Amino acid sequence: MSRLQFRYLLTPGGWARDQAVVIDGEGRIEAIEDAAGPWDGTLAVPGVPNAHSHVFQRALAGRGESRHGEDSFWSWREAMYALAARIDTEDLYVIARQAYGEMLASGFTSVAEFHYLHHAVDGARGPEQAEAIVTAARDSGIRLRLLPVLYQKGGFGRPAGAAQARFVHERKEDFLRLLDQLKGHAPGLAFHSLRAVAPDTLAETLADVRSLLGGDIPVHIHIAEQQREVEDCMEATGHSPIDALLDVVDVDEHWSLIHATHPRGYELRAVRDRGATIVVCPLTEAYLGDGLFPGRDYLAGGGNVAVGSDSNARIDAVEELRWLEYGQRLNDQARARLADPSGLAVPLWQRAGAGGAHALGLPIGKAAPGAMADFVVLEPGKPALLGNEPEQWLDALVVAGSGADIAGVYVGGRRWVENGRWPQDSEFADRYDAVVKKILES
């Protein structure tokens, strides 16, 4: 048993002064009680869950930004395929460890890894790629929810192409074998998208996976990210993507719908009423030119929402939260979309924590008994916080700061980030640099 003591702590009931967090041997909060110091930090808030990551795509950041005709998500995807074809197991470990360290330093303390780089460069099949990700997460300190992805098609009614070969399990039985090999890592399940998995196979596949892994596993799917995807789905099924999903499977509180950038209003109401979560990835949705999630009614009605770093071109939990709010401001041409009378950051931070806990299926995202002791710590003197009292620091961080203004990060009660730095970042910078140059310049 251990204790962490903070001058200010964000609890489900709001700010509490001079609090001790009592932590058990598993890294869970056992109790929160009054304290008198010495202090482990001035102000602590729950760590942000990262509800959607493709960690290998971190290696594309800075590449492919020159204009060549009508650039879009679909042209970017070709560059992503070329990257994926070259990454071996050791490369994947190095890329993942670097990216997960960056996530920690930016305020993400847990990550849902939407993992579909399944097979080796030579086509060999096995759990090695997933195990490299598991090891990288463990070594970096971030909490991982591994989501092996079923990927079978190259589009609606089209077979997968050669560029997608490393992602694909043509037979459901082969995918179930992989999940069985990964059972010790407590994975969940992801369907890549309705264009990559035939809608009429979802229910049967989900039932088989739940028989293997358990009935309460998290289930994720990309949905309605791109206008062309919506049009193709309409042509193939007669339904828009969210409508098609709701038509063939019982979406419930275990489901997370990734992006949902182009939904219809009644679809979002149905998602909200079923208790599912929308995972918005604002920086990637801007990076790829997807569009803005139209969340006014969904969010106002209490729909579950989480954030994810997706492509990992820019890794910053604070900035994802800021653009969750700012995207709605741009949609509505109004301010304070997710704010309440207490300000912006507290309700925004708490909603992302609750939605992330739903998405990952883990006791995270809040400072309360039973939750994991994951904290982001702020200290005086950071530029974004100057001129504010501690109760205003979080608002100042969201509107004026970034992950660079974070002083410390705890996962399970252990401090992994000190003075804004992941302790292994200097060790890994050169290694990561060499790996990415080798991959992209070969």
Q: Which residues are catalytic?
A: 259, 310
Rounded distance, CA 438 to CA 420, Å?
A: 29
Cα Rg of the chain (Å, integer): 21
Rounded distance, CA 289 to CA 331, Å?
A: 15
Q: Strands 2-11 and 408-411, how do they pair?
A: unpaired
CB 9 within 8 A of CB 44: yes
Tell whether omega for the bond before 38 is within 30 degrees of 0, i.e. cis: yes
Q: How many secondary structure helices (H) and strands (E) does the chain include?
A: 14, 17
> CA torsion sign, 65 to 66 to 72 to 78?
negative
Rounded distance, CA 320 to CA 337, Å?
A: 15
Under 8 Å CB-to-CB from 420, ≥6 apart: which residues? 105, 403, 404, 405, 406, 407, 408
